[in-house]
Structure 1
């Protein structure tokens, strides 16, 4: 059944930049077109922000931070803004979900299931807004010198997001920054800017003062300007490791703080004693969810040799059973890739897998029939007989491609699982508590999921090791990313 809801946000007008509480065109006058990846049809024209627009947005955020009403707002009042925003997100979630579906291709059914997470993030950080505190410290200085610490917001935050979760990432970056008392300039990806712009509207409706949340869509030039801006105190970035390195270099000018959630090539390890009925769909959707466009996807699947052949057969059958198609249909399980460029990338790796000798168990091709010829659809793909050095086993593909490799021992699984420059996610499927514990402690990754995959919660930190980045999102640790700790010493007589 097709979802026929038409978002009011798509009213035919050019979507403008949100700067200092006003909707304004890019100074250059340039626009870009964002298209539906399911059919290539244009959705909207969007103002194309550049370095000059970033400068104006950062100045607005600086004023709001230092002298606007946000500067003097008490934690309780910031909390109320976030709670009102949470209510508005909840009330408007169907529209926001459909914008993400139309703009980047995620099935509407899967995005609708993320309502709870979106609202929970805002309410969780609203709670923390009134829970910030320092410490009193009994120091060892002679005389009567009292010492304590206070937590203070870092200042202006530049948030640069990827395209694979537009609304979720906008909330994920914004909520803790606002709870901490910061202001923010959000640069959504040009491939999927619509829901972040609608989110900006709702921020104003929630009573968040002008200049506190600014939304400037644009290309790489806008992101580079934000990362290097001397009046930005912190950059929070989600994207590729390659761009993450550039963010670090750009931050050197004013030694701004940086948190990075980057790429991954995560190991997912299935032991012979695993519950097959749980592990097969779990391992499949650890990659196929969001059409494989997930940084922590468990795309390196290690299966213990004694059950390898049976598991591969069942995994291939599961992949073939998935419904790929128009993401606005409620029964669609996999939508299109986000763009022609991403489709070209995935098809390159499908060819590499076959050329390098991997065995194609399921999928492996672009889908063009059944009304899908105008979109960027690819079959959910399973390769077996994969060697660790193959490109499909080493490179982040960011598509629905699983590489299956056999293993024999626990130590081998840990060693091969860690044989990557990445360290974002990982999984283990077993009924053996000893194996689960040993693997979870042995893997060098920011998250380990045991008999599940990709579970997320507002209170539980998420982030990477190695080239998957540093810093954490979600949890109390995320709040610390937006706070300075100041030590205060007072001599008393």
Structure 2
């Protein structure tokens, strides 16, 4: 059995835990086996990261020299983009076109943080005495970066680029469902000329490798993207250790359509907002709120458009919705749909596996719309993370805001209206880290991203995205 090794201190290691089986969710075929890290392997990785971060060749490297290495990583990602895109598609079933877009975005993240690395400045505080007080920003040392399976290309790039630009060394632990994109990033770091140990990649399970990583005494900052339940476990461990965290967690984003909206544009955004990535997105617009006066008409158009979506293989040009990330995850989605039926919900479209014989070996599930449930229903409250849209009517702004804010989540929100004043009022009232007005899922590495409430702590991307990986230090110079 051939096992793909992982990366510690510039060396490739197969690990001491049971190897991971990588399955193509679109076909059910075996991609291969990947080495799995034990707690001892994780300790080895953190030790190497700490030693590398403290080497003068790294910690004394001038910012523009660090930026040069980051720019080179971006170039290599572009050069290897087709390979990386196909690899992500084979591991999580995402449409090839979307994978290609994400490869370009990953390169963009490294370019962006390279630019910040070259240009960020320290601060001089206003003097209140005979001294000069300055604020400088220092790296934490070793950062643990833990990423999910839905978008490894972009999420791993955003974390690693920012943390390294800030001067840290990183131990990257990818999802066991998508382990090899992180390994390719490690290979790119070596080829770009980074010192060994600045980026280490440990593949393995969350309960073994992930837990050992967040508990390690030399890990001084933790960055995690994933489910809220796991985020709570990490936060508890980090709290006991007094280690800062950045947690980007789940969402149940309200997508709101007022009667005065451009309904054609809203229709496109609503369907894209939930069914792109097969609904496996933390910012998926999974709760559709329609103003009652247009509820029947607009819902009918959404159902019609959804029924016309083409479910198919991720590498087929005509496909609009591909497979889910795994067979286990499809079963989870199916359980949620079954719970909606038990609570009195009505399935307007979808709600089952596709009938096409050519798709029966993959983890496919039809785009699904559920109506007839109150906001308190399970599927309206919990993150399904699949191609399932819950539709609810609303009467006026007060009713809308109460329903939209009536979950534990607060990651994203979309608002469609031609009234600027209304959009501003509602946008400010919604408890959400990001609000889109007359657009949806517009994302930029240059703007901060994160959630309210159970959707997370801290912000990534933008200038915040580098400061979250640094500590402020104040230095006083006496002038008396």
| TM-score interval, normalised by the smaller of the two chains | over 0.9
Deviation (angstroms), 1:131: 2.0
Map 1:135-146 → 2, pairs under 5 A: 135-141=123-129, 144-146=130-132
Q: Distance in 1 between matches of 2:270 and 2:461?
A: 24
Deviation (angstroms), 1:394: 0.7
2:440 maps to 1:487:
no
Q: Distance in 2 between matches of 1:252 and 1:445?
A: 24
Q: CA RMSD in A?
A: 1.3
Q: Can you list the C-alpha shifts for 1:231-257, whole angstroms capped at 9, x where unaligned?
A: 001000001111111001111343111
Q: Distance in 2 between matches of 1:68 and 1:193?
A: 31
TM norm structure 1 = 0.95
Map 1:457-468 → 2, pairs under 5 A: 457-468=444-455
Q: Can you list the C-alpha shifts for 1:77-123, whole angstroms capped at 9, x where unaligned?
A: 11000100001111111111111100000010122223442222111
Deviation (angstroms), 1:331: 2.0
* Contact 1:38-1:377 at 8 Å conserved across structures: yes
Q: Distance in 1 between matches of 2:422 and 2:351?
A: 33
Q: Can you list the C-alpha shifts for 1:128-183, whole angstroms capped at 9, x where unaligned?
A: 11223221123323xx2221111111111000111111111110110111111111
Partner of 1:312: 299
Deviation (angstroms), 1:353: 1.5
Partner SS, residue 426 of structure 1: strand
Q: Distance in 2 between matches of 1:14 and 1:69?
A: 33
Correspondence for 1:183 among 169, 181, 185: 169
Partner of 1:437: 424
TM norm structure 2 = 0.98
Partner SS, residue 412 of structure 2: coil
Q: Distance in 2 between matches of 1:477 and 1:81?
A: 21
2:14 maps to 1:25:
yes
Q: Distance in 2 between matches of 1:276 and 1:252?
A: 46
* Contact 1:149-1:485 at 8 Å conserved across structures: yes
Q: Any stretches of 5+ residues in structure 2 without a counterpart?
A: none
Partner of 2:223: 236
2:329 maps to 1:360:
no
Correspondence for 2:4 among 11, 15, 18: 15
2:119 maps to 1:123:
no
Partner SS, residue 218 of structure 2: coil
Partner of 1:110: 98
Partner of 1:154: 140
Q: Distance in 2 between matches of 1:413 and 1:332?
A: 34
Q: Provide the aligned length of Structure 1 versus Structure 2.
A: 479
Map 1:33-432 → 2, pairs under 5 A: 33-67=21-55, 69-141=57-129, 144-220=130-206, 221-432=208-419
Partner SS, residue 272 of structure 2: helix
Residues 125, 364 of structure 1: CA spacing in aligned structure 2 closer, same or farther, 3 A cutoff? Answer: same
* Contact 1:368-1:374 at 8 Å conserved across structures: no
Q: Distance in 2 between matches of 1:228 and 1:459?
A: 31
Deviation (angstroms), 1:343: 0.7
Stretches of 4+ moved more than 4 A in 1? none
Q: Can you list the C-alpha shifts for 1:16-60, whole angstroms capped at 9, x where unaligned?
A: 1110011111034x3121000011110010001121111011001
Farther off after superposition, 115-124 or 77-86? 115-124
Q: Can you list the C-alpha shifts for 1:353-383, whole angstroms capped at 9, x where unaligned?
A: 1221122111110125331111110000011
* Contact 1:133-1:151 at 8 Å conserved across structures: no
